[in-house]
Structure 1
Amino acid sequence: MSQTVDRALSILPLLAEGPADLGQVADRLGVHKSTALRLLRTLHGHGLVYRQADQRYRLGARLFALAQEAMENLDIREIAHPHLVRLNESCGHTVHLAVYEEHEVLYIDKVESRYPVRMYSRIGKPVAITVAAVAKLLLADLSDTERRALAEQLDYPLYTARSTPNAAAFLRELDKVREQGWATDLGGHEESINCVAAPIRGADGRVAAAMSVSAPNVVVTADELLTLLPQVRRTADAISGEYSGRTPVKETPA
């Protein structure tokens, strides 16, 4: 039975490349046409493949509906949290997870620093959108038109001497972040707080969330915090792999 399931599932990535006829499916699976036809009929019965008028098969609408439903029900916070905890245990600093919703960037998870000096940030609270590293990553992924329109609408409070002063500077920063694939806030919101961040991507390659590590100068310097960037990016990549389905979750033996 497991071999039958394996063969049936192997048809789906084949058809993702484009429509294929019975002979092509049989050849790819290395089976007789009668076996391939039986598998295709089963998938067709569940709406996962569709037979066209030219007798070729393509992916069925039901498959896309299932994929959309699965994506809508994915909880990125639930997936990311164990990874954030492990990163926090490794480096000791505050770790945040943020998303972009309704023209705001919001923290949706936070793991506190082990050090006595704590950051004033709360889950559900909007971040300082023009300076926060997580915001830069989320907004850099917008289209050029969306980025420009948003940049022109924002206010640019000068929290510190390093704050982003205007829309032109903000757009330049977003272009830089988009190109390099990571972001920083080095005293832009609070003089004494530095932050490095990396993007979390979904199955479509778009940035679905952003995560960061933040620490005050009294605990670690900006240069020292930047040495954690590779670890932050690896953590973000691990979350991306799990969230997008590219990395199967290992099952715990019973």
Structure 2
Amino acid sequence: MSNNITVSVIIPAHNEERYVVRCINSVNRAAERVKCGVEIIVVCNRCTDRTAELAVANGAIVAMDESRCIAAVRNTGISAARGRVIVTIDCDNRMTENTFREILGMLNSGKYIGGGAPIRFERYSFPIRVNEILCRLGFKLTGLYCGIFWAEKSTFDAVGGFAKKKAGEDITTAMNIRRYGKKEGKKYGCLKNNHLINSTRKFDDMGDWLYIRLAFRNAGSLIKAAFGDSSDYDRLIDEMFYDYNDK
């Protein structure tokens, strides 16, 4: 692997000492399959555990961001990146071995502005399978694949980075990249031979029907948010994401 940095991997992390090493290891395995330099940037967000220490010990660069906004955390990593290509992955997830080879091949073809990756869960049950089917259906209908985001850094700069939203930033960012790609005569794509290995830790902690149960239980909050009152929805997002790993 060359010292010439081509790919920068951005990993946002809030108290992820249980998962950061296995995520970095999956990135390193993918990096071994390409002949260019790959740097790993772990963006520690309000961490009070050993996430930063473990990241450095396993060869990653650590950046800090105290925002309660995942988009801002990812953008901090992109700002620090030296690579031509940006790849993002959440800290509790993993990538498959030929992820970078496929991403670079698609970008170098000149046909793609960037894209996402299919999602596969690390274990399955009937409700988790239902959750995956709903995810696949949503991706298929919209074409806005998320999970692992990949694009050239210049593309992220052109669209203003990740959309500065507390939730739903992934879909909005995918839309922005696709819209920019149309202007450039390129498509928003999805990896075909590699995928994101999605963590099931929240299912493990709170039950495999978690998200379906939350959707029914919080239907009123979702409807209120659709009409402009996001106070209850924001509290739910804090509980499920921004405060989930608080020590």
Interval of TM-score (by shorter of Structure 1 and Structure 2) = under 0.3
User: RCO higher in 1 or 2 (8 Å CA, sep ≥ 6)?
Assistant: 2
Tell me which structure has the larger Cα radius of gyration. 1
The TM-score normalised by the length of structure 1 is 0.26
The TM-score normalised by the length of structure 2 is 0.27
